[in-house]
Structure 1
Amino acid sequence: MDAADRGEFVVRRARESEADGLAGIDTVAVEGDEERRASIRRWCRQGLAVVTEGASGPLGYCVVEYTFFGHGFVTMLMVAPSARGRGVGHRLLSAVAASCTTLKLFTSTNVSNQPMQRLLQRAGWSPVGLLHGLDEGDPELFYLCGRQTGTTHP
């Protein structure tokens, strides 16, 4: 994915050297979660992270992996708290949908994560399933991207 100017944001593949900057906008990593920091470093090193940046630096990032039954899966979508409500998450979802290399692209979120559910619905994703047992008392909702525009491979 090359850099794409999307209005006031640029969406592009994150570089390995940007892992610390992405950790700085990740609310879990900021709280000291070393496992999340390690995941961010790995995602950047493997070329799996897409970043949205503005004039002030990174505003959000998204990770797509291809280990979900052979389909793309948005493993992580994080928008800096100060950038929420500005279209950053929607732009990231659009970018990864356009660059997804499989026919289907999925993601999931907890039932309690209403902001993510609203974002997915606005972005044209459809709920496709519910899984109990991952987080006690907070089932996981699965979604399928409804406007897949990327290259497709059966």
Structure 2
Amino acid sequence: MGDIEPGTLVVRHAEPPDHTALTGTDPLAAAGDRARRASIRRWCEQGRALLAEDARGPVGYAVLEYTFFEQGFLTLLTVAPAARRQGVATRLLAAVEAACTTPKLFTSTNFSNQPMQQLLLRAGWQPAGLVHGLDDGDPELFYLRPPANLSRSSTLRTFPDTVIGKESRS
């Protein structure tokens, strides 16, 4: 996998058959983590995964759920190692923000995950809290996307080179 050609990246809702291809973009799943593979399958079946792909296939995905106090929660955002630093995560983050149907959208990342923290801050997310004890020695930082930046439309949303379907299924 080389550089992503400008204008070829599309973000769409993942379908159940996409789960196999998504495992190749996720380092944990690609290394054989059965729990992550099962989660990817479930997220695709439930319509929770947004898939980023270029002409060669999937290069990353994000998961939007509503299990965090019934608010939107970006559960996971991952980009294939060979596609990193090419704008994929930024596009996935924008697609999640557009797809969110609740007044608030949260996410979290480990204190050690500096790239994700930088991505969130560049995108205008605000720190919202800190939790110790989830991962030993690596606190979890929570972030909130300001509600004014979220879309509330349930119609098809289109962004430059990014298309996502209707709002997530419940």
TM-score normalised to structure 2 length: 0.83
Taking every aligned residue pair, what percent have the same amino acid on both sides?
A: 61
Structure with greater contact order relative to length (CA < 8 Å, sep ≥ 6): 2
- Who is 2:168 aligned against? none
Q: What are the Cα deviations for residues 92-132 of structure 1, in whole angstroms up to 9, with x where unaligned? A: 11011011010000000000000111111111111110000
- Who is 1:46 aligned against? 46
Distance 1:7 1:100 in 2: 24
- Who is 2:151 aligned against? 150
- Who is 1:99 aligned against? 99
Distance 1:101 1:64 in 2: 10
Q: How does 1:59-138 map to 2 (within 5 A)?
A: 59-138=59-138
Distance 1:135 1:70 in 2: 24
For structure 2, the residue ranges without an aligned partner over 5 or more in a row are: 1-5, 154-170
For structure 1, the residue ranges without an aligned partner over 5 or more in a row are: 1-5
Distance 1:91 1:144 in 2: 18
Task: State the Cα RMSD in Å.
Answer: 1.3
CA shift, 1:31, in A, is: 1.1
Distance 2:107 2:78 in 1: 13
TM-score normalised to structure 1 length: 0.92
Contact 2:61–2:79 (Cα < 8 Å) also in 1:
yes
Residue identity in the other structure for 2:102:
T
Residue identity in the other structure for 2:41:
R
Number of equivalenced pairs: 147
